[in-house]
């Protein structure tokens, strides 16, 4: 399973999520959205639960073979 989630969990009270990739283009070329969620324990619990699920069920990916 490949995930394309953009989530930053800062602490037990703050999460940043949205469509933006964390690159310089987010400010200069792309139209993106982000939402900062604070002091919402029920929402935070869900984000942390999802993160732990993905973390515990992820695996290392193999590097592509050398083509040259």
Question: Residue 12's domain spans which residues?
Answer: 7-56
pLDDT at 64: 67
pLDDT band at 68 (very low <50, low <70, confident <90, very high): low
Quick check: is 52 in a domain? yes
Residue 24 confidence (pLDDT): 76
How many Å apart are CA 17 and CA 41, to the nearest integer?
Answer: 16
2 within a domain of the structure (yes/no): no
5, 51 in Cβ contact below 8 A?
no
Residue 66 lies in a domain: no
Integer Cα distance of 3 and 51 in angstroms: 11
Taking only the tens place, the pLDDT of each residue in 4-57 is: 678 889 988 899 998 887 777 777 787 888 899 999 999 999 999 988 998 888
Residue 1 lies in a domain: no
Greatest Cα-to-Cα distance within the chain, rounded to the nearest angstrom: 52
Tell me, yes or no, whether 45 lies in a domain.
yes
φ, ψ for residue 31, nearest 5 deg: -105, 110
Number of domain units in the chain: 1
pLDDT at 38: 95
User: Would the pTM of this model clear 0.85, i.e. be above it?
Assistant: no
Cβ partners under 8 Å of residue 18, min gap 6: 6, 32, 33, 34, 35
In a domain, 27, yes or no: yes
């Amino acid at each position: 399973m490949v995930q394309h989630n953009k989530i930053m969990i800062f602490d037990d009270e703050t999460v940043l999520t949205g469509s933006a990739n964390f690159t310089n283009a987010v400010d200069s070329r792309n139209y993106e959205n982000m939402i900062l969620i604070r002091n919402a324990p029920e929402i935070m619990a869900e984000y942390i639960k999802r993160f732990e699920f993905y973390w515990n069920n992820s695996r290392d990916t193999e590097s592509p073979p050398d083509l040259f």
